[in-house]
Copies of this chain bind each other. A is one copy, B any other.
């Protein structure tokens, strides 16, 4: 199975990482994800890593890359379901995932993303009332 499925939930995308990542799979995931963000105009990406019992620097870098790519495509990334041991390992590896938000559960992650979308809409409305009103149906 050479694709990690990307599930669309409203204006967010959900990825559940369950298998060991290798180079080709990670690249494929980046390709698929960026394409889906553009295709659906998604505002947020949730990455569930609750199945991962161990992480290495490769996975840490991959999470960082995905978050950066999503950001330049105007989508926020939240990593959810991290195990305590994984948090310890990541920091010991010197990867504190700067710029990536985390949440303990998918539900909490979606709340964070919804809050973000609302905030950015309010800012848009405050700055440009007319354009925001025109575009509000896209959210």
Interface residues of A (CB under 8 A from B): 1, 3-5, 7-10, 14, 16, 18-20, 48, 50-53, 81, 105-107, 110
Contact = CB atoms under 8 A, between A and B. Distances in A.
How many chain copies does the complex carry?
Answer: 2
14 contacts: A1-B19, A1-B20, A1-B52, A4-B51, A5-B16, A7-B50, A7-B81, A8-B106, A9-B9, A9-B106, A9-B107, A9-B110, A14-B14, A18-B18
Given A5-B16, A7-B81, A8-B105, 9 more contacts: A1-B18, A1-B53, A4-B51, A5-B51, A7-B14, A7-B48, A8-B106, A9-B106, A19-B19
Contact of A3 (B7, B10, B48, B51): B51
